[in-house]
Amino acid sequence: MTDVPSSTDHYPQRIVCLTEEPTEVLYALGEERRIVGISGFTVRPPRARREKPKVSAFTSAKIDEILKLEPDFVIGFSDIQADIARELIKAGVEVWISNHRSVKGILAYIRRLGAMVGAAEKAAAYARKAEQHIADIEAIAASFVRRPKVYFEEWDEPLITGIRWVAELIRIAGGDDVFPQMSGESLAKHRILADAGEVVRAAPDVILGSWCGKRFRPERVAAREGWDAIPAVRHGDLYEIKSPIILQPGPAALFDGLDAMHRIFVEWNGKQRG
């Protein structure tokens, strides 16, 4: 039997998610029946790609296709989707553009989105689960003999380092971002490293890569001029963090992304003990 909202359900019934994180949250809360369209980049949960039509990328969307779905609510992220939001608003669609860029912001986002679909209690419980997971990881990281210095690379041409929630998760997982001053910049163009030598001078112990839309190539990073002097390169501590679990400000980052980084730092610490 199809699970459909009752006639007394006054919350949004036909939601289009322009990015991945609202889809993941709504599925986690058991509210996926409300979703009628998703981002083409969506991979979590896997069944979402099979069940829902894909109507947007990150910087573009099929406005006509979205309107055909007759949405009563569209969810997007950041000023990057401002033009999409503008077109939909002009067409009479209600749009919510969130702009959360921190771990605290992700947790608040989960709670707000849950409240918007009448699932405030389930959302609060889900957020508490994430908070407990974060606390558990922090407690383990507190026992590290030494915290690795970490360089996170979000793109390679030009070199772009990680955004705020990534830097915060690195700290929670037990490392220290070597460019914390850059992480506060919301736009990628403001997180470009003008000189690759900055990374050499920062001497990271671990290099994490998540090249949005393409596979991270550790061997190419290690072959950069002068980078053989970097401890991470000398000891082979270069790792990929898959972009779907770290480059979206949603549950994936708080669970799988955090876990992936933490495992790397635990292994690195084991080498220090040895």
pLDDT for position 189? 87
pLDDT at 4 over 70: no
Residues 164 and 266 both lie in one domain = yes
Domains in the chain, number = 2
pLDDT for position 2? 42
Residues 23-34: what's their mean pLDDT?
98
Of 133, 152, 171, which closes a domain?
133
Residues 126 and 148 both lie in one domain = no
- Domain span at residue 103? 15-133
- Within a domain: residue 106? yes
* Cα–Cα dist 248/132, whole Å: 20
Residues 24 and 93 both lie in one domain = yes
Q: What is the CA radius of gyration of the chain?
A: 20
Residues 199 and 112 both lie in one domain = no
- Within a domain: residue 6? no
Residues 179 and 230 both lie in one domain = yes
- Within a domain: residue 78? yes
Express each pLDDT in 148-198 by its tens digit: 999 999 999 999 998 999 999 999 999 999 999 998 888 888 999 999 999
Beta-sheet strands, E only, within the chain: 15-17, 35-39, 54-56, 73-77, 95-98, 149-156, 159-161, 176-177, 206-209, 238-240
Residues 159 and 129 both lie in one domain = no
pLDDT at 271 over 50: yes
Express each pLDDT in 47-56 by its tens digit: 999 999 999 9
Residues 118 and 234 both lie in one domain = no
Residues 118 and 174 both lie in one domain = no
pLDDT at 7 over 80: no
Identify whether the C-beta of residue 89 lies closer than 8 Å to the C-beta of residue 63: no
In which order are the strands placed within the sheet that holds 73-77?
54-56, 35-39, 15-17, 73-77, 95-98
pLDDT for position 6? 57
Of 81, 104, 133, which closes a domain?
133
Q: How confident is the model at residue 3 (pLDDT cuts 50, 70, 90)?
A: low
The strand pairing partners of 153, in sequence order, are: 161, 209
Residues 181 and 250 both lie in one domain = yes
Q: Which CATH number belongs to the domain containing residue 35 in this structure?
A: 3.40.50.1980
Tokens representing residue 232 in the block: 């991470």
pLDDT for position 184? 83
pLDDT for position 1? 36
- Within a domain: residue 3? no
One-letter amino acid at 28 equals A
Residues 89 and 208 both lie in one domain = no
pLDDT for position 205? 98
Cut 0.85: pTM above it:
yes
* Cα–Cα dist 99/5, whole Å: 28
Of 102, 133, 164, which closes a domain?
133
Residues 10-22: what's their mean pLDDT?
97
